[in-house]
Amino acid sequence: MSNSYVLKNVTIGDGATTDIQVDGDKIVAIAAGLIAAEVIDCTGLVALPGCVDLHTHLREPGFEQSETVLTGTQSAAMGGFTAVHAMANTSPVADTAGVVEQVAALGREAGYADVYPIGAVTVGLAGKQMAELGAMANSKAKVRVFSDDGKCVHDPVLMRRALEYVKAFDGVVAQHAQEPRLTEGAQMNEGAVSAELGLTGWPAVAEESIIARDVLLAEHVGSRVHICHLSTAGSVEIVRWAKARGIHVTAEVTPHHLLLTDELVRSYDAVYKVNPPLRTQADVLALREALIDGTIDIIATDHAPHPIESKDCEWSAAAFGMLGLETAASIAQQVLIDSGKSSWGRLAEVLSINPAAIGRDTEQGQAIAVGSFANLALIDPKVTRKVVADSASKSKNSPYVGLELPGRVVHTIYRGHFTVRDAKLAESGRK
302 is catalytic: yes
Query: Please, are residues 271 and 399 in contact by the beta-carbon 8 Å criterion?
Result: yes
Residues 58, 70: Cα–Cα separation, whole Å: 9
The CA-based angle 208-230-285, given to 5 degrees, is 105
Query: Please, are residues 134 and 121 in contact by the beta-carbon 8 Å criterion?
Result: no
Query: Please, are residues 281 and 328 in contact by the beta-carbon 8 Å criterion?
Result: no
Radius of gyration (C-alpha) of the chain in whole angstroms:
21
Question: Which residues, at least 6 apart from 412, have a Cβ–Cβ distance to it below 8 Å?
Answer: 50, 77, 78, 79, 80, 81, 82, 376, 377, 378, 418, 419, 420
Question: Which residues, at least 6 apart from 389, have a Cβ–Cβ distance to it below 8 Å?
Answer: 396, 398, 401
Please report how the helices 233-244 and 204-221 are oriented relative to each other, as an axis angle in degrees rounded to 10: 10
Count of C-beta atoms within a 10 Å radius of residue 132: 18
Give the active site residue among 302, 312, 338, 390.
302
Read out DSSP for 344-388? HHHHHIIIIIHHHHHHT-TTSS--S-TTSB--EEEEEEEEEEE--
Supply the residues annotated as catalytic: 302
